[in-house]
């Protein structure tokens, strides 16, 4: 052992041998070295879809027609499967087409965002007016409490009267502060953000065809769809709420009017509007 830079024999029996200690140090040193990792191929849609047989879809490269292609196939984890492979570009094309079924016409989206912005301003103005009125009431109550205390100290009112009136004023003040706190929590809750996110998602669905990143397309499909399936080389999924309602509404409207539901160029159509009976909710109307 070493002490103050000098080696000493030591009087205690070592717990482990010198050879074992050296071996442990060697193992620890090796663990600190960066591990060599295998190069992984980036297949953006792996893990996104199940096969109709219940297995997952995986991906691999294949050569053909003088080129190297990326395609997806069933893992056949549950046994033999007749499902054929699907090329990545075809899979991406179908994901885009499916996503576009919840795309709102551009004029609809624009009006919804403008309506949301107006609603936010009205909410803020209303909340500010309410808060200011409450603030004045609280100040008035505090003035009454101060005068009540002065009257008691000057022996103008007896103790029982003082306590009774003070209790009444304090309870009013507590109630008003509670209303202020409730209003503040509502202001901080960001009620508008989920709605804004919903609208922006519908807008993105309309422009997803221009997305250059397959990873972003895969992420979007994961965000809006569940029970994602490939059967007979056809992509399908169930839309998660609230996009399930959007898809049903747009499909129904298209059937009745023969109109496009994606954000491709078309004549201006009637947009969704707020239902005035509901607080800050967007209501799609036919």
Peptide bond into 242 cis (omega under 30): yes
pLDDT along the chain (286 residues), means of 10: 46 60 72 59 88 93 78 92 92 94 84 86 84 90 91 88 90 88 72 84 87 89 94 95 87 67 42 39 43
What is the pLDDT, as a whole number, of residue 45?
Answer: 94
Half-sphere exposure of 249 (CA within 13 A, CB side): 15
SS (H, E, C) 218-259: HHHHHHHEEEEEEECCEEEEEECCCHHHHHHHHHHHHHHHCC
Q: What angle do CA 74, 77, 81 make, to 5 degrees?
A: 50
What is the pLDDT, as a whole number, of residue 93?
Answer: 94
SS (H, E, C) 124-184: HHHHHHHHHHHHHHHHHHHHHHHHHHHHHHCCCCCHHHHHHHHHHHHHHHHHHHHHHHHHH
What is the pLDDT, as a whole number, of residue 254?
Answer: 67
DSSP class of 10:
-
pTM tops 0.85: no
What is the pLDDT, as a whole number, of residue 38?
Answer: 53
């Amino acid at each position: 052992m070493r002490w103050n830079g000098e080696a000493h024999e030591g009087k205690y029996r070592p717990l482990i041998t010198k050879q074992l200690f050296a071996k442990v140090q060697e193992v620890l040193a090796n663990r600190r070295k960066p591990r060599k990792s295998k190069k992984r191929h980036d297949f953006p849609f792996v893990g996104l879809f199940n096969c109709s047989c219940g297995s997952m879809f995986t991906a691999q490269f294949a050569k053909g027609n003088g080129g190297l292609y990326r395609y997806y196939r069933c893992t056949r984890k549950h046994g033999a499967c007749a499902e054929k492979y699907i090329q990545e570009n075809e899979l991406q094309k179908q994901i885009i087409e499916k996503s576009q079924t919840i795309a709102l016409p551009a004029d609809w989206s624009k009006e919804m965002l403008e309506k949301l912005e107006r609603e936010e301003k009205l909410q803020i103005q209303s909340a500010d007016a309410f808060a200011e009125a409450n603030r004045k009431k609280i100040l008035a109550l505090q003035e009454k409490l101060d005068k009540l205390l002065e009257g008691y100290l000057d022996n103008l009112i007896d103790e029982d009267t003082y306590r009774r009136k003070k209790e009444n004023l304090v309870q009013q003040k507590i109630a008003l502060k509670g209303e202020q706190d409730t209003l503040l929590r509502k202001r901080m809750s960001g009620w508008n953000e989920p709605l804004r996110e919903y609208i922006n998602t519908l807008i993105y669905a309309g422009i997803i065809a221009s997305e250059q990143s397959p990873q972003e397309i895969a992420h979007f499909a994961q965000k809006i769809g569940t029970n994602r399936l490939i059967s007979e080389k056809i992509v399908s999924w169930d839309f998660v709420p609230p996009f399930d309602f959007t898809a049903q509404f747009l499909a129904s409207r298209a059937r009745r009017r023969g109109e496009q539901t994606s954000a491709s160029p078309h004549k201006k159509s009637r947009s969704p509007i707020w239902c005035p009976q509901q607080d800050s909710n967007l209501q799609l109307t036919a």
